[in-house]
A and B are shown apart, each in its own frame.
Chain A
Amino acid sequence: EIVLTQSPGTLSLSPGERATLSCRASQSVTSSYLTWYQQKPGQAPRLLIYGASSRAAGIPDRFSGSGSGTDFTLTISRLEPEDFAVYHCQLYGSSPTFGQGTKVEIK
């Protein structure tokens, strides 16, 4: 079973700053199936990035994804107030799995 480990657990930043979130897989994975979601309190996850680097419909270009093999990154170039949330990476496949999430909070 592939395990996804996200770091850091919490990222404290100010609006306008750059956020870099990491997702590491326990073994090499197909980047086509690496996905990022945003989740705000009391809401369902929202699809941000699929295929490691493709933005979903309606997602601002300040969100970008990169990586391959075991290491993947979600970057938010300039944090807007609405970006403070929890971010989950997910690996789709026969047994979809999520990382434990990274909370981006206001510093």
Chain B
Amino acid sequence: QVQLVQSGAEVKKPGASVKVSCKASGYTFTSSDIYWFRQATGQGLEWMAWMNPNSGNTGSPQKFQGRVTITRDTSISTAYMELSSLRSEDTAVYYCARLNLDQYYYYRGMDVWGQGTMVTVSS
């Protein structure tokens, strides 16, 4: 079945970096954009970055520019999100999600989500 499987929980010290992976299966990895979101405990969802796995093009909101790096390895259908200069406020669950567009490129929602990766930043 179509799924995204993320890497396991991480504990990092302030100032360090974390790299979360998101492995796609059940569909052609390069056919759908991947989005990254995060959710602090008890909070809403926050968009972090976007990638087109085919072209490698990426984008992120100004808040994360310079701190977030999105890459992919198409040979293993995996996207990566690296966040640097971690601080306590980055403690959250990080999700990848697949953007679903139909054959006419109409938006059909983010239909497949990874299970989430808990990142804890603590000294």
Q: Which residues of chain A are within 8 angstroms of B35 by Cβ–Cβ distance?
A: 96
Q: Are B111 and A47 in contact (CB under 8 A)?
A: yes
Question: Chain A interface residue count: which class?
Answer: 20 to 34
Please count the residue pairs between chain A and chain B whose beta carbons lie under 8 angstroms apart in the complex.
56
Task: Choose one: A44, A49, A57, A97; the contact of B115 (CB below 8 Å).
Answer: A44
Known A-B contacts A44-B116, A90-B45, A98-B46; the reply to A35 vs B61 at CB < 8 A is no
Interface residues of A in 41-59 (CB under 8 A from B): 43-47, 49-51, 54, 56-57
Q: What is the interface of chain B, defined by CB distance below 8 A to chain A?
A: 35, 43-47, 59, 61, 95, 97, 106-111, 113-116
What would be 28 A-B contacts, judged by CB atoms less than 8 Å apart?
Answer: A32-B106, A32-B107, A33-B107, A35-B109, A43-B115, A43-B116, A44-B97, A44-B113, A44-B115, A44-B116, A45-B45, A45-B95, A45-B110, A45-B113, A46-B113, A49-B109, A50-B109, A51-B106, A51-B108, A54-B108, A56-B108, A57-B111, A88-B44, A95-B61, A97-B47, A98-B45, A98-B46, A101-B44
Q: What is the interface of chain A, defined by CB distance below 8 A to chain B?
A: 32-33, 35, 37, 43-47, 49-51, 54, 56-57, 88, 90, 92, 94-101
